Structure 1
Amino acid sequence: MVVAVLLGSVRSDRVGERVAKWVIAELESRGHEAVLVDPMTLKLPLLDRMWKEVKNEKGSEHAELKAKLQPLAELYQRADGFAIVTAEYNHSAPPALVNLIDYFLEEYFYRPSAIVCYSATPFGGVRAAVQLRSLLAEVGMGSIPTLQPVPAAGDALSAEGVPLTQQLAEKSGKFFDEFEWYMRALAAERKRGTPTGTAA
């Protein structure tokens, strides 16, 4: 399976990189191809026009934006699922993550998402995850039932993304098992066709 791992925070002192490294390592240990999508590296402007609105335009006005979005569009078309790594800002998802997600739409359809939320508090970012569920459903990559919170993320993972707590090291299997199940199930159904009458 191919998984796009969307990292939400662009803060200079973010710990989200640790969480994303852990997610990628877990997915790769299960034989999946996990590809990081980092808005800090992409430096996308605030959304003005979506990918579907600029991809066929000629001229240089949107050339830089198209060059950034084209690889993402190609990755998302290959993806079987999306792992969303989100911080919690004011009980909600970071604006950089929302902006990143909003650039696309059809590319997400009939593919599951799995939310890995984190924070510096014992709550592990679950309030952001609850807010995020509605957005993910609306763009067509509804989230699996189980959440994977990472409380006190700076202490729970090393800088290399290695778990430092027994909870994270040993009790996240159900989350990834469930994500795999949804990816396999929806991949099989996409091959058979979708409610829109096309294979996705």
Structure 2
Amino acid sequence: MSLVTPVILGSVRSDRQGLRAARFLIAQLEALGHEAPLVDPAELKLPLLDRMYKEYPKGEAPRVLEDLAVLYRRADAFVVVSAEYNHSIPPALSNTLDHFLEEYFWRPSGIVCYSAGQYGGVRAAMQLRAMLCELGTPSIPSLLPIPRVGKMLDANGRPQEDWLGRSAAKFIGELVWYAEALKAKRAEGVPY
């Protein structure tokens, strides 16, 4: 089954390394026949959160939010690519995620975290788990941490060590399992 899985990038820094991780995940998902559009807040130039998408009168939200809402309603799952800033998630990621709510409901998420150091951003991932669950897109049990991201992935997102491809395959397999299960249940109806 082909799935729609937006890959939400969390950093807007000019020298960000997360784009490597996002490109890697997109390539892995597309190789399996899934649609994996990049949601890049640096390109989208999202406004700082003043009102959530749902708080705008119908048809009056900024175009960028309308377009994301359409994409998110089509989504079967989400992949969130997060750096670790001060042991937490980047502010651009929080801003990107917080614009929506119901569009995430009943869809799983997978967390890809990264850092320049050896821990691969896992401290940020722990905080992100709570946030994603509250948004209605609970994360799958597995994480895909990428330590020393600048060495593990080249600028185009190609892995420089074999273990990363194997880890990504397991991570994506688990995400697809949850996405297919929840897609089938959404087709039957949701609790409210």
TM-score normalised by structure 1 residue count: 0.93
Contact in 2 for aligned 1:21/1:160 (Cα 8 Å): yes
Deviation at 1:18, TM superposition (A): 0.6
CA distance in 2, matches of 1:71, 1:7: 16
Q: Deviations over 1:77-115 (max 9, x none)?
A: 000000000000011110000000000000000000000
Aligned to 1:175: 171
Matched ranges for 1:1-200 at <5 A: 1-56=3-58, 66-196=62-192
Deviation at 1:120, TM superposition (A): 0.3
Deviation at 1:44, TM superposition (A): 1.4
**CA spacing shift, 1:13–1:191, aligned 2, 3 Å:** same
Contact in 1 for aligned 2:110/2:143 (Cα 8 Å): yes
Instruction: Count how many residue pairs are aligned between Structure 1 and Structure 2.
Output: 190
Aligned to 1:62: none
Structure 2: which amino acid aligns with 1:172? A
Deviation at 1:174, TM superposition (A): 1.3
TM-score normalised by structure 2 residue count: 0.96
Q: Tell me how large the CA RMSD over aligned residues is.
A: 1.0
* Structure 1: runs of 5 or more not aligned: 59-64
CA distance in 1, matches of 2:70, 2:59: 17
Deviation at 1:55, TM superposition (A): 4.5
**Other structure's SS at 2:7 match:** strand
Contact in 1 for aligned 2:144/2:167 (Cα 8 Å): no
Which has the larger Rg? 1
Structure 1 moving runs of 4+ over 3 Å: none
CA distance in 1, matches of 2:169, 2:34: 15
Q: How high is the sequence identity, in percent, across the aligned residues?
A: 57
Structure 1: which amino acid aligns with 2:173? D
CA distance in 1, matches of 2:80, 2:166: 21
